[in-house]
Structure 1
Amino acid sequence: MNLMLMGLPGAGKGTQAEKIVDKYHIIHISTGDMFREAMANETPVGLKAKGFIDKGELVPDEVTNELVKERLGQDDVKQNGYMLDGFPRNLEQAKALAQINADLGLKLDAVIDIDVDPAILVERLSGRFICKNCGATYHKLNHPTKVAGVCDRCGSHEFYQREDDKPETVKNRLAVNVKMNTPLIDFYQKDGILHRIDGDQAIDQVFADVDTVLNKIY
């Protein structure tokens, strides 16, 4: 079984990836891990990618595509199937993946999109705040202070938010991801393999819905 996992930041994609791996023993391939592994092993493509990364440049699509092909051609993938996470990131990469699968005699069985309204994700992602005095971290929804406005650890009343956690920054990051994901969603919807899962549910219910889809193709 070969999968691709999609979802906006904060949608719970990482948690669902772990659950899928635990049940189906599929090979989880994230772009970051793939780059690190190829560079550590000093494969020809890994060295090519390292040349760009060392200069602080983005790795071009054609190098990323080569890296994906190298990884998907390995024995563990042939035996257990793969779950791609973070690739493809654009339409050209999606078309390249189709060609890679064809070249390797593989097939993408399903694209799982953990779908959560961006407005809900803004609340999830911008809820973190930190005690200015001792650095204790809280979240207004998931882990508030026991007494409003008072740090549990040191009793301070001063808190701050990191730039990355501020609502406007989070909204911008989500908008970029929505723009990037929309053509991919359309592409895989036309292909008939896209499955949108409601990510605004309890974690176990989200996985139950994912599992229902996977059971049909496993």
Structure 2
Amino acid sequence: MSTEPNSLASSKSFHPGPVLLLGAPGVGKGTQAKVLMAEFAIPQISTGDLLRQHRREHTPLGMMADELMQQGKLVPDDLVNQMVAERLAQADCDRGYILDGFPRTLAQAAWLDDYLERTESAWPVVVISIRVPYDDLLQRITGRRICPDGHIYNIYTQPPRVEGICDVDGKALTQRNDDTEAAFEQRMKEFHELTAPVVPHYQGQGRFAEVDGLRSVDEVTEAIRTELERLRAQASESIETAGNR
């Protein structure tokens, strides 16, 4: 299936507003975020990228985060929220943006709702959850192999022609530390404890849709487009109804 735009949502004149892609590690959030970012001409906002940028540029927030991380402590929500608020205030976010890795907790979701209300955002955030069964995720993550130049394989679904060797440059393939089964299980544990409760928060507000992440990249993209159109149409109707009261 082609990813060529074939709907209202695929036009760069469409304002998708704030979009949160939610899902467990390995469901393909990053892949879909990049497709949507290019299609809608809106930024992808990653809290990991923001944190690295602030630390690299030695901003006051970055130095506070750096000090905490050097002590082996987690960066607290209020610090992350400040970084996100600064980024969302930039002009390229006016038409919308894709949130990657945020909100990760119920507290962050509540903060985001409050922020959008305080800044009188034209649109509330909508959530697209990408669903992939555990066993398939485990295979995706633990089977991943990469070469030094960034070519990616999967020993189960997309193996190299010669075991352990990149087809493109002949360099040895390796497994990242994050891609071991133990690391994956820890990430899944954190996801279920911290992020999974965010789902009912948005489900209860009528701003949530789920898509099947086992389909091809193109098919998942098309499903996300369809759900974005539906959710934004519902939001427009609700705003119009409220305005007529």
TM-score w.r.t. structure 1 length? 0.81
State the match for 1:75 in structure 2.
91
Map 1:96-107; keep pairs closer than 5 Å.
96-106=111-121, 107=123
Q: Relative to structure 1, is the Cα distance of residues 146 and 72 closer, same or farther in structure 2, using a 3 angstrom cutoff?
A: closer
Aligned match of 1:196 in 195, 206, 210? 210
State the match for 2:128 in structure 1.
112
Count, aligned residues = 206
Give the drift of 1:195.
1.1
Is the 2:19–2:128 Cα contact (8 Å) retained in structure 1?
Answer: yes
TM-score w.r.t. structure 2 length? 0.73
Secondary structure in 2 matching 1:141: coil
CA distance in 2, matches of 1:19, 1:128: 21
CA distance in 2, matches of 1:18, 1:41: 25
CA distance in 2, matches of 1:117, 1:129: 21
Q: Is 2:109 the partner of 1:89?
A: no
CA distance in 1, matches of 2:198, 2:134: 17
Structure 1 runs of 4+ with >4 Å offset: 40-43, 150-153, 159-164
Q: Relative to structure 1, is the Cα distance of residues 97 and 137 closer, same or farther in structure 2, using a 3 angstrom cutoff?
A: closer
Unaligned 5+ segments in structure 1 are 131-135, 154-158
**Which string of whole-angstrom CA distances, capped at 9 and with x for unpartnered residues, describes residues 109-140 of structure 1?**
3111111111210111122469xxxxx98632
Map 1:1-218; keep pairs closer than 5 Å.
1-78=17-94, 80-106=95-121, 107-128=123-144, 139-144=154-159, 146=161, 164-216=178-230, 217=232
CA distance in 1, matches of 2:178, 2:145: 11
Sequence identity percentage? 35
CA distance in 2, matches of 1:72, 1:53: 24
Give the drift of 1:188.
0.8
Q: Relative to structure 1, is the Cα distance of residues 56 and 200 closer, same or farther in structure 2, using a 3 angstrom cutoff?
A: same
CA RMSD of aligned residues (A): 2.8
